[in-house]
Amino acid sequence: MIQRLRYLLRFYLLTVLVFIIAKWVFMICCHEDSLTFADFLLVPYHGLSLDLSTALYFLVIPFVLTIISSVVRVPSWIFKVYNGFVAIAFALAFIADSSLYAFWKFKLDASCLQYLETPADAMASVTTGYLLVRLALWMLLATLLYVLYERVVKRPLFRGGRWVEIPLNFLLTAVIVVGARGGLGESTTNIGQVYYSHNQFLNHAAVNPLFSFFASMSKSGDYLVSYDYYTEEECQALTDSLFFVHSEDTDTLLRTRRPNIIMILMESCGGQFTELGGHPEITPHLNQLAHEGIYFTECYANSWRTDKAVVSILSGYPAFPITSVMKVPEKSRKLPSIAASLQEAGYETGFFYGGDINFTNMRSYVLGTGYEHLRWKAGYPRQAQKSAQWGVRDDLMFASLLEDIQEEESEHWMKTLLTLSSHEPWDVPTKDLEDEVYNSFHYLDRCIGQFIDSLKQTPAWEDLLVIILPDHGYRYQGIDERTRLYNHIPMLWVGGAVKTPCRIQRICNQSDLAATLLGQLGLDHSAFTFSRDVASSHYQADLAWHTYNNGVSVFDTTGFMAYDLNAQQMVASEGPETERQLQMARAILQLTSHDLINK
């Protein structure tokens, strides 16, 4: 009995120690700001409760084996196999967590599994060398961990004492269950319990990546989460003034009710890379177009990921912290869309994308929401398909779109292009700026500028409306969800159909494009429940909201607030009314999540 207890104790303590060391390595590898000696003490201290609980989950199998070993002899190879499993799983989690954090800025979770459906796209952001190095590190770390467990943890191999140990086994079972749960209170073990700092990196460093991954398994991208904060009456009272479905006394921005329409969705090109973020040198063509057309100067992204943002833009539907509506076909096909509304009005519709249209279930969404014609990577010559890591690079895509427009025979049409070159690994064919990230957005800007210049030379320009806006911003040089600039995006309407160049300074979301555009065309948009016509006289609530990985932010005329749903605390607070903004954020989450579940 004593030998078995020693085995369990050694296994448990070694696992906790491995978790602590992994935290230190993560901090060294992933930190952006300077770290103090105190940080290396406080992070494992505050993260210890989660490590202790997580280690108990991995103790369950050894505990069961010790119970069996008190009755029959358990072959040593079974213990070896389990040690091998633990070593491989831990090594994979630690390497993946440290590697992905540089891109995502949040801890390892189940959202990474979506990339297994389309492995080519999963690999597109990194080089082969990058992958080989991490594969080698994984194998090396797994080997080291296996040797460590084999040498430190001594396996119990004897029989006897089966009846004496029954009460002890019951006691240990209770300890493991209660410890893994996090105690006997109402609150169970959760990620937020280890948050302690205003520095989000330190909070993230304290989180156990294995717990984060398994806790999120039941809340993957297609998981429907219900946010419940208020009674229905309270929620309705908070949101009544925010949403409306009719256009009244709408300011006429266009010369015609039936322009032909091009929508350009720019990958990651948040305002931080334009004059909005103090970088006019990166996007000179967009800056010029802002003076030639309608410039929505206070537009904000709804989400941080393309699959969520595309739904917000094209269906006027809000993004969620966890759920990706695009990945839930039984819900997404019930959404309204700009394409479907225009199709009913007699428009031909087409969607262009240089990458894999099957990624994140995009094909299902695009076809299900009114796009009749698709052209994606597979429809281009092999050489073009390999012109960039993600697929067909942007200049080739714009050239094919221009050719398609010149050959278009329909009286009314709408075409959408989703760009992809301004994305890791920033493999663009030009080198105009030293910074590779800035250079990629400069390349995108050049592609758009050349495309618009070419369009101006065609007969299509006279009755054309070109809508340009990003899907989301990009975490770079200290800009992330805790800063308003991360969500701030440029939205431009240009073309011969624009009546007069102007600036619209109302605070709005990219999800408001649907109602605003359809309002200009005189088309009903009552089905777009959460999209607001910014040009309508009824537009009174200047407010924008944004969701990120288990978080939400709000910006209005009083300031900016960001709230972490894991930690249940504000991580950014700028203004005198952040508590009211938090109320609004919760009410919007409740209203929209209930709407999605009930579809």
386 occurs within a structural domain: yes
Question: Residues 439, 571: one domain?
Answer: yes
Helix (H) or strand (E) run with residue 504 in it: strand 502-504
Question: Residues 208, 277: one domain?
Answer: no
Helix (H) or strand (E) run with residue 565 in it: none
Least Cα distance to 239 among 599, 590, 594 occurs for 590
More confident residue, 493 or 151: 493
Identity (one letter) of the amino acid at 174?
Answer: A
What pLDDT, in 10s, does the model give residues 29-75?
A: 988 788 999 999 999 999 999 999 999 999 999 988 888 877 777 78
Question: Residues 35, 102: one domain?
Answer: yes
Q: Three-state SS string across 366-430, please?
A: HHHCCCCEEECHHHCCHHHHCCECCECCHHHHHHHHHHHHHCCCCCCEEEEEECCCCCCCCCCCC
Please report which confidence band the pLDDT of residue 545 belongs to, taking 50, 70 and 90 as the band edges.
very high
Q: Quick one: pLDDT at residue 179?
A: 82
Structure tokens belonging to residue 483: 């800063």
Bond preceding residue 209 cis, omega within 30 of 0:
no
Q: Quick one: pLDDT at residue 121?
A: 58
Q: Quick one: pLDDT at residue 130?
A: 79
H-state helical runs in 477-577: 484-487, 513-520
**Residue 441 belongs to a domain with what CATH number?**
3.40.720.10
Q: Yes or no: say if 508 and 270 are a contact pair by the CB < 8 Å rule.
A: no
Question: Residues 189, 309: one domain?
Answer: no
Residue by residue, DSSP assigns 246-261 as: ---S----BS-SS-EE
Question: Residues 203, 318: one domain?
Answer: no
Q: What is the pTM of this model?
A: 0.79
Question: Residues 107, 143: one domain?
Answer: yes
Q: Quick one: pLDDT at residue 116?
A: 57
What pLDDT, in 10s, does the model give residues 304-323?
A: 999 999 999 999 999 999 89
Least Cα distance to 289 among 128, 449, 520, 455 occurs for 449
Question: Residues 189, 163: one domain?
Answer: yes
Least Cα distance to 294 among 488, 503, 490, 470 occurs for 503
- The number of residues making up the chain comes to 599
278 occurs within a structural domain: yes
Specify the number of domains making up the chain.
Answer: 2
User: 219, 249, 266: which is the final residue of a domain?
Assistant: 219
225 occurs within a structural domain: no
User: 219, 252, 276: which is the final residue of a domain?
Assistant: 219
Please report which confidence band the pLDDT of residue 111 belongs to, taking 50, 70 and 90 as the band edges.
low
Q: Which residues pair with 265 in a beta bridge?
A: 418, 469
Contacts with 61 (C-beta within 8 Å, 6 or more apart), sequence order = 82
224 occurs within a structural domain: no
Question: Residues 213, 240: one domain?
Answer: no
Strands in 48-145 per DSSP E: none
Least Cα distance to 306 among 292, 286, 326, 322 occurs for 326
Q: Quick one: pLDDT at residue 164?
A: 59
What pLDDT, in 10s, does the model give residues 183-212?
A: 766 556 777 688 788 787 898 899 999 988
Q: Which structural domain, as residue segments, surrounds residue 69? A: 2-219
Helix (H) or strand (E) run with residue 589 in it: helix 578-597
pLDDT at 161 over 60: no
Please report which confidence band the pLDDT of residue 463 belongs to, taking 50, 70 and 90 as the band edges.
very high
227 occurs within a structural domain: no
Question: Residues 372, 442: one domain?
Answer: yes
| Separation CA 424–CA 500 (nearest Å) | 37
Q: Which residues pair with 260 in a beta bridge?
A: 464
Percentages helix, strand, coil for the chain, rounded to the nearest 5? 50, 15, 35
Residue by residue, DSSP assigns 507-527 as: -EEGGGHHHHHHHHTT---TT
| Separation CA 262–CA 28 (nearest Å) | 46
Q: Quick one: pLDDT at residue 229?
A: 96
Exposure class string for 288-305: b at 16+ Cβ within 10 A, else e:
ebbeebbbbbbbbbbbbb
433 occurs within a structural domain: yes
Q: Quick one: pLDDT at residue 444?
A: 98
Question: Residues 307, 178: one domain?
Answer: no
490 occurs within a structural domain: yes
Identity (one letter) of the amino acid at 266?
Answer: M
Please report which confidence band the pLDDT of residue 464 belongs to, taking 50, 70 and 90 as the band edges.
very high
Q: Quick one: pLDDT at residue 120?
A: 61
523 occurs within a structural domain: yes
Report the largest interatomic distance among the alpha carbons of the chain, rounded to a whole angstrom: 92
Question: Residues 151, 275: one domain?
Answer: no
| Separation CA 143–CA 429 (nearest Å) | 41
Question: Residues 180, 294: one domain?
Answer: no
User: 152, 187, 219: which is the final residue of a domain?
Assistant: 219
| Separation CA 391–CA 353 (nearest Å) | 9
List the helix and strand counts (H, then E) for the chain: 20, 13
pLDDT at 291 over 60: yes
Q: Which residues pair with 349 in a beta bridge?
A: 414
What pLDDT, in 10s, does the model give residues 329-388?
A: 788 889 999 999 999 999 999 999 999 888 888 888 998 889 999 999 999 999 999 999
What pLDDT, in 10s, does the model give residues 434-456?
A: 999 999 999 999 999 999 999 99
